[in-house]
Amino acid sequence: MAILGINSSGSDRPPIPGIIGSSPAMQEVYRITRRVAASNASVLILGETGVGKELIASAVHRLSHRSGGPFVRVNCGALSESLLESELFGHVRGAFTGAVANRTGRFEAAHGGTVFLDEINSTSLTLQVKLLRVLQEKEFERVGDTSTLRTDARVIAASNRDLMQQVREERFREDLYWRLNVVPIEIPPLRRRREDIPALVSFFLDYYNEVNDRYVVHMGPGVIEAMQAYHWPGNVRELQNYIERAVVMTETDELTVDVLPDCLTGRQRPSDDENEDLSTSDFEALSKYVVQKGLVESGPSDVHSQIVEQIEKELITQVLNSCGGVQTKAATRLGINRNTLHKKMKEFGLDSD
């Protein structure tokens, strides 16, 4: 199911069929998507978790001359380095324990089509070297094999992290960054396109009514207003979750405010100031403050990523504590997979015990 929503109406079609959203921010996304789709250029899709990066990647493929070929998805953050290498490039029988037969990799399977590498920021520096070779030379070897294979697959990558900052921190290869970032597409968070919320709500209502054999077709007073006032840290995926919950919990044909989560009803809603991104002056002041307090070591010009990491580390620590250290449960609460959580714990030096 598409995160941004599928438009099934016949008269009010969006600029890209299959995607809901007519805000100015999304119009710019549509413009770049259509323009780049006609080329063979590599595309780097940027955006927070839950904004619908895979849907835009699919649209680029669907609108390209490769639309008749396969669209192969790979979540780079869901697999360990060794498993991801085998997943991408394939392996031969006997290459490692458990390799009982030859296996075709995703690049080989995507010949003539498109490979979508989600969470590209999760790949190791070693694997990045091999990805760079595929982008530059269009060739690779299966794990455990010496025969060189060629592929005609377009690469679309996505990241929810600032890759240039990752380059500065030597966590991501600069040469690979420039190979991937030929045409960037930045998908705005839901809080920057609140005017799209009514259409998204309508779509998700229709979808979950059908899935659950329900008939919630009316919108109670204050529902849309509450949703448009919310900050949406989980973006469209969070909206989708709340609508599904409301359809299941509503006992009548009307969706009312009382079936919405507390954060939407006003009891835990962020203030107006919290709903807006930090201005430049606000951020400079915050940067100076955290440096003075000794929370980070660098100056205001490069403190952003350190602030984010401090908050992320504290959040993971608190969730792990609340879950009694059970990583699977903590990963579910955080909305990430267990492998990603394990990588974050290792990155922040958190005790795996």
pTM (predicted TM-score) = 0.71
Cα 248 vs. chain centroid, distance in angstroms? 26
**289 band by pLDDT with thresholds 50, 70 and 90:** low
Confidence of residue 318 (pLDDT cuts 50, 70, 90): confident
Distance CA 141, CA 26 (A): 39
CATH of 191-265, one of 3.10.20.30, 1.10.3720.10, 1.10.8.60, 3.40.50.460: 1.10.8.60
233 phi and psi angles, rounded to 5 deg: -65, -25
Over residues 159-216, the pLDDT tens digits come to: 999 999 999 999 999 999 999 999 999 999 999 999 999 999 999 999 999 999 999 9
CA–CA gap between residue 309 and residue 219 (Å, rounded): 40
Q: Which of 164-178, 286-300, 310-324, 332-346 has the highest mean pLDDT?
A: 164-178
Which position has the higher pLDDT, 64 or 275? 64
Beta strand 71-75 pairing with 43-46? unpaired
Question: Would the pLDDT of 8 be above 60?
Answer: no
pLDDT over 80 at 298, yes or no: no
Is pLDDT above 70 for 33? Answer: yes
Please state the rounded mean pLDDT for residues 268-292: 50
Confidence band of 287 (pLDDT split at 50, 70, 90): low
Give counts: helices (H), strands (E), the chain.
15, 11
Cβ atoms 87, 80 nearer than 8 A: no
CB atoms < 10 A from the CB of 219, how many? Answer: 15
Is residue 304 pLDDT above 90, yes or no? no
DSSP state of 294: T
pLDDT band at 343 (very low <50, low <70, confident <90, very high): confident
The fourth-level CATH superfamily of domain 24-188 is: P-loop containing nucleotide triphosphate hydrolases (3.40.50.300)
Domain ranges across the chain: 24-188, 191-265, 280-348
Structurally, what CATH architecture does the domain formed by 280-348 represent? Answer: Orthogonal Bundle (1.10)
Do strands 154-159 and 43-46 pair parallel, antiparallel, or not at all (unpaired)?
parallel
CA–CA separation, 227 and 73 (whole Å):
31
